[in-house]
């Protein structure tokens, strides 16, 4: 059985590299190679009856990146499988791709055998994510869950916001009409509660949660 594949990557050398690997396998018929995600969508629109089994795509591309391409492909047809091969290992990107039903993700520095294994697995109807990608995804999920579990009181938010704005303990106490000792207790409790090491950690958290802006 022959499988029809499309490869898209804006780095011509990498495109040629994947092509040379896949050309050694008789089961794979390369329908299209392109440096543009937009060209892939045009091909799908112009060839609605063409059987496409798998699209292999990078993430960073001009006009239409791999994340947007995956989303558009899945909206058009659930039967077309997608595999991302990218240098990016950003947790939010991985999250978004998984939310939009990507079928696999391997880093660009993966061994040739892993790439072939990923393709075979996906064409069999299963998902394939390299260990590195799975670890990033799970760690991010765990971190987000931990963040959701942390609930700060309004007083704690007030204190952490003022700390992040570099107010002294006395100045914070004066602003919030609390004693200096109470503010020191808040600070210690916040460091323990948020599992950070120092005031810089509290400031980072306040910025992340947008209690203050840079």
Residue 194 pLDDT > 90? no
Fold agreement (3-143, 150-208): no
In the predicted model, what is the mean pLDDT of residues 15-25?
A: 92
Three-state secondary-structure class, residue 48:
coil
CATH number of 3-143: 3.40.50.2300
Candidates 3.40.50.300, 1.10.10.10, 3.20.20.70, 2.60.34.10; CATH matching 150-208: 1.10.10.10
Question: What residue has token string 């072939």?
Answer: 116
- Residue 46 phi/psi, 5-degree rounding, is -80, -15
Please, which residues bridge with residue 28 across strands? 3
Mean pLDDT of all residues belonging to the chain: 91
In the predicted model, what is the mean pLDDT of residues 161-174?
A: 93
Residues 109-159: pLDDT tens digits? 999 999 999 999 999 999 999 999 888 878 877 666 666 667 888 999 999
**Which CB contacts under 8 angstroms, 24+ apart, belong to 195-202?**
199/163, 202/160, 202/163, 202/164
Choose between 148 and 194: higher pLDDT: 194
| Distance, CA of 15 to chain centre | 22
Model pLDDT, residue 73: 96
Q: Which of 34-43, 79-88, 109-118, 198-207 is least confident?
A: 198-207
Choose between 160 and 195: higher pLDDT: 160
Model pLDDT, residue 44: 95
Q: Where are the domains of the chain?
A: 3-143, 150-208
| Distance, CA of 188 to chain centre | 34
Phi-psi region of 44 (alpha: psi -120 to 50; beta: other; left: phi over 0): alpha
């Amino acid at each position: 059985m022959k499988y029809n594949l499309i490869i898209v990557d804006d780095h011509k050398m990498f495109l040629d590299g994947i092509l040379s690997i896949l050309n050694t396998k008789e089961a794979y018929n390369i329908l299209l190679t392109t440096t543009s995600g937009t060209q892939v969508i045009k091909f799908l629109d112009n060839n609605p009856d063409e059987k496409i089994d798998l699209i292999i795509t990078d993430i960073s591309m001009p006009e239409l990146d791999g994340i947007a391409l995956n989303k558009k492909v899945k909206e058009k047809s659930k039967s077309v499988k997608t595999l991302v091969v990218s240098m990016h290992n950003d947790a939010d990107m991985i999250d978004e791709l998984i939310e939009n039903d990507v079928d696999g993700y391997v880093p660009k520095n993966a061994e040739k055998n892993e790439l072939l294994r990923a393709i075979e697995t996906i064409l069999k109807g299963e998902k394939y994510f390299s260990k590195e990608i799975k670890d990033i995804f799970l760690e991010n999920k765990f971190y987000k869950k931990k963040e959701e579990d942390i609930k700060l009181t309004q007083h704690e938010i007030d204190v952490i916001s003022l700390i992040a704005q570099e107010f002294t303990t006395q100045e914070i106490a004066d602003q919030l009409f609390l004693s200096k000792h109470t503010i020191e207790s808040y600070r210690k409790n916040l460091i323990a509660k948020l599992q950070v090491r120092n005031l810089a950690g509290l400031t980072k958290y306040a910025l992340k949660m947008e209690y203050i802006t840079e």
